[in-house]
Chains A and B, each alone.
Chain A
Amino acid sequence: MITRRKVLLGSAGLMALGAGSCAGRRAWMSREPALPAAIDPQGRALWSNWSGLEHAYPMKRAAPADEAELAAMLPAAAVPIRPVGAGHSFTALVPTEGTLLSLDRLEGLVSQDTTTATATVRAGTKLSALGPALAAIGQEMLSLPDINKQTLAGALATGTHGTGKGITAIHGTVTALRLVLPDGTIAECSRQTRPELFHAARVGLGAFGVLSQVTLQNQPLSRVKKVVRLVDTDWVLGEWPMLAAKHRNAEFLVLPFTGKSALITHDVTTEPVSPRLPDTDSQTLMDLKRLRDLFEFTPGLRRRAAQMAMKDLPTDVAIDEGWKLLSNERPDRFKEMEYHLPIAAQAEVLREVIARIERDALDVFFPIEARIIAPDDAWLSPFYQRESGSIAVHAWYKEPHDWMFKLIEPLFREAGGRPHWGKLHSLGAGELKALYPMFAEAQAVRRSVDPAGRMVNPFLKKVFG
């Protein structure tokens, strides 16, 4: 996102006097949410996800040091057993009153093959650590998600993705998995070995067992040029197919109520390194919030003030290895809904998303994110056999998000969208079956590896039926 703090602040300040009461109202409405107790009456410590939406008091917390320890503890572990990566999922994939299983100690590189640019990695490795580890062996992932705090296992389990025409989500680069099944058996799978388990568990919601190792098909390390520029939203919506095809990684963030979007592109370059500057996205976000606080009920003024503030903004450029540029710090917690639509529907649906928010959700100030993802063949992948355009809407962690379900999700569903597994959605097995051609087959594999349902919490019961 582009930072124009001073300009925005100056513009907002001019109007501040008359709008002070609106800001005061907002300060009250955006107060810190009530927090669950740190320790429950049984003395169990709180677990909560990153956004603060989900929480639980697990009876047992486990963090096996290696695969053997993991295999030994699973058969007798208190149920439900729920693996947790970095807790970034917004949905209730993790909450458990049984065993909360951290993969933090299963981290680091296991082996590599320079000739094929493949690497085998322990599944608890954080994406933020994986980037430099791969760079050290001359490899990189072509695409990374917006945030890189997740573990590799968590990212795979939820179909986490970056952006780029012809570039798959992370699970599309997986060539082999080692999975510890609920009974403690270690299963190796790939396209050649136990292919049904490979196809079902690659995007497995942490419900097929616990991932211990993953082999990734990477690319030789390259240098990329990141360009962030402010553009008219109408223009980027019209040019999106061309822009997506032209750049290795392209995405845009619609700034609602402004008519503007931040277009972010990454392309391979041989230009000299020009490191990214300190991240100022958070300041920009809070400036958008201030504009909302002041002009929430006067969208015309909000738009004019924003456009005045953002006039003549320079383009931001950074040149470096991709792992240093593709992901961002996101210190402002939020809640998110993201659906993956057939690519041909993306722009039209996005236009309607913007229209609905600007008409009926005046309190929204977070950008709307649009990305493109190549098809793959994992049975529970939201990108299964279909090139997808994703649309993500966000709400600050302190503020309501019910508008996502009322205004936006019906639109996504009408367009045949499949929800991101880690982000807010309301779908259950019935609806999901209609969206995933291999859903029944995946359910059957799941039952075969976990017949007693030891890895299923209430949320997953709804998902798998």
Chain B
Amino acid sequence: MRFLLVILMLALAACGTGEAPPKPLTAEQSAAFSPKDARLAKLYANSCKGCHTVSGAQAPLTGDRTVWDPRWAQGEAGLLSAAIQGKKGMPAGGQCFECSPDDLKALIAFMAGREL
């Protein structure tokens, strides 16, 4: 009985989101994305894209939710601090020196596959 309940709950959960599970992207697939907003697209092209669409750069690929979802789950504040201060291989500010904190928030959301 318990087994059937679990199956039912999983099925309902799947119906609830209506989303297929994320799949890893290639660098080429990742590079095809660009923010819809023209200003943000320029900021992205001049900074984030240089690493976040290149496999060898070890940065999570733009739009690849298999790697971004665990990061996204940490919450916006943590991601923003990491973006401003830098973390591991990522330099501070993602090397976008004209980016405001709000710009960085929008860029994080875009790269995390929330606003492709």
What residues of chain A have their CB less than 8 Å away from a CB belonging to chain B? 32, 35-36, 38-39, 45-52, 55, 61-63, 84, 86-87, 100, 102, 104-105, 107, 126, 128, 149, 278-280, 282, 329, 331-333
In angstroms, Cα B50 to Cα A293, docked, is 31
Chain A proximity of B19: nearest CB distance (Å): 30
Q: Which residues of A contact B51 (CB under 8 A)?
A: 329, 331
Q: Which residues of A contact B85 (CB under 8 A)?
A: 35-36, 38, 46, 48
Q: Which residues of B contact A329 (CB under 8 A)?
A: 51, 54, 56-57
B101 within 8 A of A: yes
> Are B93 and A149 in contact, with the CB atoms below 8 A?
no
From A39, A52, A86, B95 is in contact (CB under 8 Å) with A86
From A35, A105, A107, A279, B86 is in contact (CB under 8 Å) with A35
Q: A278-B55, A329-B54, A331-B58 are in contact. Are A45 and B100 (CB under 8 A)?
A: yes
Q: Which residue of A lies closest to B96 (CB)?
A: A104
> Are B91 and A331 in contact, with the CB atoms below 8 A?
no
> Are B93 and A48 in contact, with the CB atoms below 8 A?
yes
Number of A-B residue pairs, CB cutoff 8 Å, is 86
What residues of chain B have their CB less than 8 Å away from a CB belonging to chain A? 42-43, 46-47, 50-51, 54-59, 80-81, 84-86, 88-89, 91-93, 95-98, 100-101
> Are A331 and B84 in contact, with the CB atoms below 8 A?
no
Chain A proximity of B24: nearest CB distance (Å): 15
In angstroms, Cα B89 to Cα A46, docked, is 17
11 new A-B contacts at CB < 8 Å, known A84-B97, A86-B95, A87-B92: A46-B92, A47-B93, A47-B97, A48-B85, A48-B92, A49-B92, A52-B92, A61-B98, A104-B98, A128-B50, A333-B91
From B46, B58, B92, A282 is in contact (CB under 8 Å) with B58
Q: Which residue of A lies closest to B91 (CB)?
A: A50
In angstroms, Cα B94 to Cα A87, docked, is 10
> Are B91 and A104 in contact, with the CB atoms below 8 A?
no
From A62, A282, A333, B56 is in contact (CB under 8 Å) with A282
Q: Which residues of A contact B86 (CB under 8 A)?
A: 35, 48, 52
> Are A49 and B91 in contact, with the CB atoms below 8 A?
yes
Q: Which residue of A lies closest to B42 (CB)?
A: A105
> Are B46 and A278 in contact, with the CB atoms below 8 A?
no
Chain A proximity of B54: nearest CB distance (Å): 6
In angstroms, Cα B93 to Cα A461, docked, is 26
From B42, B46, B56, B81, A126 is in contact (CB under 8 Å) with B46
> Are A104 and B93 in contact, with the CB atoms below 8 A?
no
Q: Which residues of A contact B88 (CB under 8 A)?
A: 32
